[in-house]
Structure 1
Amino acid sequence: MKPLTDSLPNFPEFAPGEVWLAGAGPGDPGLLTLHALHALQVADDVVHDALVDPRILRLADKEAKLIFAGKRGGRPSAQQADINELLIERARMGRRVLRLKGGDPFVFGRGGEEALALTRAGLRFRIIPGITSGLAAAALAGIPATMRQTNHAVILVAGSRAADGTSQAEWEKLARTGQPIIVYMPMANLSEIMAAFQRGGMPPDTLAAIISSSTTAQERIIETSVGMAAADAATQGVSAPAVVIVGAIAGVRQQLLANMVGWR
């Protein structure tokens, strides 16, 4: 592959001993930023999450060391403190370390924690934003995050702690805002989340969409409702990784489908 710097020479230098925290987007390599692609081409180490698509990892330099540091809910995973230490250790060896995450590193990606750890270690780092998966999955499914006719705000929330008692109360409060909600990582707690929304006053017939494995060959999209989302997901065998979109914006999809060209 021709290096990007041959045609676009204004990329920042990836210096030895630096760590770049980059987002890989929702999956498809076409949604990488040019800065993320540049980093893949020059990094010595690529420390990547479970949700980084294998097609993206194949864009790394052939000499780069690929290091898996994924975290998956409910499964044995790398501990965040160990990941922080790994980044520090590799950077202190003089390596160009790319920490590559699905979506955006600062949107439910623990990139802020890693940046703080690098700061405390006195190491230089750079942030490369990525297309956050919730917004990308919605857009590519024909669901605009905002519409003047329906909403001037949208709520992004992580669903991985929904079974916690405090979080249950927070879901009920979110339901009362009347704004569309995009829930990341919801599948393990989908029943609890939808039930809490209804306790918060959200009607069970509120439109919802479940998007699984967006931009990949395994992508699934289910149009449902708050009252039926958990049952429909179970019946149709939808699993993580997924996002759930709740609110009037989910209904726009049916208006766009006839003329919308599919992602793949």
Structure 2
Amino acid sequence: MKNIETTLRNVGTVSLVGAGPGDPELLTIKAVKAIAAATVLLVDDLVSPAIVALAPPGARVIHVGKRGGCKSTPQAFIEKLMVMAAREGETVVRLKGGDPFIFGRGGEEVEHLRAQGITVQVINGITAGLAGITSLGAPLTHREHAHGVLFITGHVRPGDSDTDWRAIAATARDARLTLVIYMGVRGSAHIQEELLTGLPASTPVAVIQHVSLPDQRHALTSLGQLHSTIERDQLTSPCVIVVGDVVRGVAAARAPEALRRIA
């Protein structure tokens, strides 16, 4: 009984920490504190080196990249590493780009850790879909243009049914929603074709690559020109695609010529 009690006392903790879109200055104070206290960090590909550098000198950093179209660390192996480290008494930080609960598999990891009796906390981060459009001077919602926002992934797991983009287009049109599409570059031709069944070809679109980082770049276009713009400007992942009338705010804030470009 004494050995069991000692083992339980020695079990460490796990924090799922949102690293935000990349800029270290967009981290929350709580995230910085968690990173500074970590003894083991499991780091996603999209976390910038400047954020990883906030870890203590003696901390063990394990890169567990997960990126669409590239070789990825299996999710089950990542979860196993977290459990093993916590049972060894480590203070574990699972460092994720954006927010752990927005397309970050945070829900799966929390469920697994709790089932193993591991204490886990979630520290939110600024998601790229919000930071991207904000960096261009426009909102995601606006009383005159968008009554809500829909975050959606453009990538589905192999074997899963495809997203019903036609239904999403109709809903966005009828409810006046902004669409924020993550991981949609590779499927942009299909997404464009399906969204055009319910939204006008003139619907403004912003494609933002490397949100908040020094090499961030973007293109303003229309839904009818989405795929051709991505190909022309050679925009690749990681990108967010923002679809809706709020994008006109980007053009209005920058130059009349840009507004004409997406008209």
TM-score norm. by structure 1 comes to: 0.88
Summarize the Cα distance change of 1:160–1:129 in structure 2 as closer, same or farther, 3 Å threshold: same
Aligned positions of 1:106-255 closer than 5 A:
106-161=101-156, 166-168=161-163, 170-177=164-171, 178=173, 179-199=177-197, 201-255=198-252
The alpha carbon displacement at 1:140 in A equals 1.2
After superposition, the Cα gap between the structure-2 partners of 1:237 and 1:96, relative to the gap in structure 1 and judged at 3 Å, is: same
CA contact (8 A) 1:163 1:189 kept: no
Give the drift of 1:167: 2.2
Distance 1:164 1:196, change over 3 A: farther
Checking the alignment, whether the CA contact within 8 Å between 1:16 and 1:96 is kept in structure 2 is no
Q: Residue 193 of structure 1: SS of its match in structure 2?
A: helix
- Residue 15 of structure 2 corresponds to 20
CA positional deviation for 1:75: 1.2
From the superposition, tell whether residues 227 and 162 of structure 1 become closer, same or farther in structure 2 (CA, over 3 Å).
Answer: farther
The total of aligned residue pairs comes to: 242
Unaligned runs of 5+ in 1: 1-14, 259-264
SS at match of 1:52: coil
Cα distance change, pair 165–98 in 1 and its aligned pair in 2 (3 A): closer
Q: 2:46 aligned with 1:48, yes or no?
A: no
Percent sequence identity over aligned pairs: 37
Summarize deviations over 1:172-207 as a string: whole Å, max 9, x none.
1010011210001111111111111013x2111111
Change (3 A) 1:164 1:198: farther
Measured in 1, the distance between the counterparts of 2:29 and 2:90 equals 21
List per-residue Cα deviations over 1:117-168 (Å, max 9, x = no partner): 0000001011101111111111111120100011211111011129988324
After TM superposition, where is structure 1 displaced by more than 4 Å over at least 4 residues in a row? Answer: 162-165
Maintained 8 Å contact 1:105/1:130: yes
Letter in 1 for 2:253: L
Matched, 1:39 2:34: yes
The separation in 2 between residues aligned to 1:60 and 1:219, in whole angstroms, is 25
Distance (whole Å) between structure 2 residues aligned to residue 245 and residue 145 of structure 1: 9
Q: What are the superposed Cα offsets for residues 210-263 of structure 1, whole Å, 9 maximum, x if unpaired?
A: 0000111221110001111111111111111000000101111122236xxxxx
1:77 aligns with 2:72: yes
Q: Which amino acid aligns with 1:175?
A: A
Q: Distance in 2 between matches of 1:143 and 1:27?
A: 19
Counterpart in 1 of 2:258? none
In structure 2, the residue matched to 1:6 is none
Judge conservation of contact 1:187–1:240 (CA < 8 Å) in 2. yes
CA distance in 1, matches of 2:159, 2:192: 14
Structure 2 equivalent of residue 96 of structure 1: 91
Give the counterpart letter for 1:172 in structure 2. R
Q: Are the structure 2 counterparts of residues 175 and 132 from structure 1 closer, same or farther at C-alpha, using a change threshold of 3 Å?
A: same
